[in-house]
């Protein structure tokens, strides 16, 4: 059975930590593809700094070099808050028979009970929790399949979008924190200044 990873976030901007976490999940869980879904109107956090178009463009640039990665604008086309359960359900409808794996960070996982229809979400996909570099390793189940939660034991990279925005604002380089195409896009468009 084909297995597809879904990685959502504001991606403001997308960075190498996001890409490494997705690659760790892809390798460990045997995912054929990982789709990156920039959030349109995130219900749990402040509005992104960069526009929806800019965040989608950066996600597209960041994923262009990997044959199994791609970016989707599915949430960006909506004007109202986007909920993960609706995004996953829409992907299940588009690709019936594909095993969906939602990739989240270990910092996000504890928030799951506050998500809309989180019980339904767990019937639609497996939840893959990627450890943060500072988390000290994963805990919990290692069951795959709808309703399961698994932990990707290899930690991502200690990079944050907030720190990247602060570096850009201070006139510092973000090279080797974001893909080259993303660094060029940020510079050419004057983002985060």
- pLDDT tens, residue by residue, 129-153: 998 776 555 444 344 445 688 999 8
**CA 84, 85, 91, 97 torsion: positive or negative?**
positive
Task: Return d(Cα 145, Cα 127) in angstroms, integer.
Answer: 9
Task: Return d(Cα 141, Cα 170) in angstroms, integer.
Answer: 42
How far from each other are the two terminal CA atoms of the chain, in whole angstroms? 45
Give, in order, the Cα–Cα distances in Å from 24 to each of 31, 97, 104, 193.
10, 23, 12, 32
Q: How confident is the model at residue 126 (pLDDT cuts 50, 70, 90)?
A: very high
Decide if domain 12-189 falls under CATH 3.40.640.10. no
Maximum Cα interatomic distance, the chain, rounded to a whole number of Å: 48
Mean of pLDDT over the chain:
90
- pLDDT tens, residue by residue, 87-120: 999 999 999 999 999 999 988 898 889 999 999 9
Domain residue extents for the chain: 12-189
Residue 10 token pair: 């504001």
Q: What is the dihedral of CA 12, 15, 18, 24, to 10 degrees?
A: 170
Measured at the CA of 141, the angle between CA 137 and CA 144, to 5 degrees, comes to 115
Q: Which of 143-147, 162-166, 189-193 has the lowest average pLDDT?
A: 143-147
Give, in order, the Cα–Cα distances in Å from 92 to each of 6, 25, 29, 126, 170.
11, 19, 18, 12, 43
Residue 73 token pair: 């604008």
| Backbone Cα Rg of the chain | 16
- pLDDT tens, residue by residue, 6-59: 999 999 999 999 999 999 999 999 999 999 999 987 776 788 999 999 999 999
């Amino acid at each position: 059975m084909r297995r597809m990873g879904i990685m959502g976030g504001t991606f403001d901007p997308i960075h190498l930590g996001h890409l490494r976490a997705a690659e760790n999940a892809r390798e460990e869980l045997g995912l054929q593809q990982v789709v990156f879904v920039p959030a349109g109107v995130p219900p749990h956090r402040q509005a992104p700094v960069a526009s929806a178009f800019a965040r989608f463009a950066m996600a597209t640039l960041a994923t262009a070099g990997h044959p199994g990665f791609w970016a989707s604008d599915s949430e960006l086309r909506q004007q109202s808050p986007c909920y993960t359960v609706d995004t996953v359900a829409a992907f299940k409808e588009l690709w019936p028979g594909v095993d969906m794996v939602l990739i989240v960070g270990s910092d996000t996982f504890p928030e799951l009970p506050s998500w809309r229809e989180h019980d339904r979400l767990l019937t639609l996909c497996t939840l893959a929790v990627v450890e943060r570099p500072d988390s000290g390793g994963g805990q919990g189940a290692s069951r795959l399949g709808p309703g399961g939660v698994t932990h990707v034991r290899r930690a991502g990279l200690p990079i944050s979008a907030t720190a990247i925005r602060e570096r850009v604002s201070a006139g510092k380089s973000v090279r080797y924190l974001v893909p080259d195409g993303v660094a060029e896009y940020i510079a050419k468009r004057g983002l985060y200044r």
